[in-house]
Copies of this chain bind each other. A is one copy, B any other.
Amino acid sequence: MMSIVRPTLLLDKEICLRNIAAMAEKAKSKDLIFRPHFKTHQSAVIGEWFREFGVTAITVSSVRMAQYFAKNGWDDITIAFPANILEVDEINALAKQIKLNLLIENLESVEMLTKKIKSSVGIFIEIDTGHNRTGIASSKYFGINTMLDVIRANKKFSFKGFLSHTGHTYLAQSKHDIYNRHFDAVLKMKALKNYYKREFPDLILSLGDTPSASLCENFSGIDEIRPGNFIFFDLMQYQLGSCNFEDIALRLVCPVIGKHGSRSEVVIYGGAAHISKDAIINIDGKRLYGQVVINRDGEKILLDERNYLYKLSQEHGVIRTTIQAFNNFNVGDLIEIIPAHSCLTANLMGSYLTTEGERIKMMNCDFDDQSSNGSSSSNLLTASR
């Protein structure tokens, strides 16, 4: 009986359910709305696993993803990605069907949006609490006010509150560093609430990111969390201290296709087409794409980090091993790779196989046409505005 013959994303449903339960419980105990980010799994089937823990509202990172989950029964969705004005037709259509929240981080977007919006949408203003990717700094009251002026002036808009992705926790050097970055973000967000709560007594403060949602305890004043990665976890989260090893739910199962004793290297079928090139830094200072679990006499053994996936081409992965461990690999074996970054690995693979043998598809292959319509203009760079 053989079921896996090529790179396959193996998902432990039991671990996922445990991870969801823990996060749902934590949110509940701190009186936080739990609006998990579904970009991590991108799957309608896995989405359903959240329902038994009382989840009714979700976060996604694109209009496409919102369409996909709306089609699959989710009717309260925040697109936690700055509103892309070019997708306004799809936003209008979607907002007719479900409760849709958009993210605004600059005046230009909201000004363009106000001219084209036809359905009612909730609006969050994105705050940059230190991640320096998107969002307006919490201290820029003038900028925030000019956006709020536009939001107030359009009855289709209802201002929901302030949202931040404290993604700089991923760059933290220690757990304490994560606490500090989180606490700093909490203070910045609370200052905004204090300033605006008279006009908007129901405004929501929403924080994202798995490291702080997993590790931190102080959410005073915060109303909502939006972690995503926690359902799978990965080596990056383990290195940050967000999880234990046994909380990692995702593994890429790969066939061994070659061994090179002179270099102490094992080659697997499993490359950059299957596993993310996102890496963590290993003890030897090199990029580590995954750790390795082998099967010896029916027992699964996690090899230490001297044995790791260190090179990826499109289909090949190369594992560097110790001389001792090298002999545990045989051509034709299946081994498991624990990925450095699970979200992007899942995104590449497009489907899961659960440890119970269920095949689960992701949204990737659900859309026939990536464009809003099939036509093309003579100058494709000219968008109508």
Residues of A that sit less than 8 Å from B by CB: 1-6, 8, 10, 39, 61-64, 81-87, 90, 105-106, 108-109, 112, 132-134, 167, 253, 255, 257-260, 263, 267, 269, 272-273, 276-278, 295, 298, 300, 311, 313-316, 318, 330-336, 343-344, 347-351, 353, 355-357, 359, 364-365, 369-377, 379-385
| Extra contacts besides A2-B372, A10-B380, A272-B347 (9): CB < 8 Å | A81-B316, A82-B257, A133-B318, A253-B381, A273-B347, A277-B278, A314-B344, A359-B370, A359-B374
Q: A316–B84 contact, CB under 8 A?
A: no
> Binding site of A, secondary structure by majority: helix, strand, loop or mixed?
loop
How many copies of this protein are present in the complex?
Answer: 2
Chain B residue contacts of A255, Cβ below 8 A: 84-86, 383
Q: A370–B272 contact, CB under 8 A?
A: no
A-B contact pairs, 24 of them (CB 8 A): A1-B377, A2-B372, A2-B384, A5-B371, A6-B63, A6-B87, A6-B371, A81-B269, A81-B315, A83-B257, A86-B334, A132-B260, A133-B267, A272-B278, A276-B277, A277-B277, A298-B379, A334-B380, A349-B370, A350-B365, A350-B370, A351-B370, A355-B380, A359-B370
Q: B6–A133 contact, CB under 8 A?
A: no
Q: A267–B1 contact, CB under 8 A?
A: no
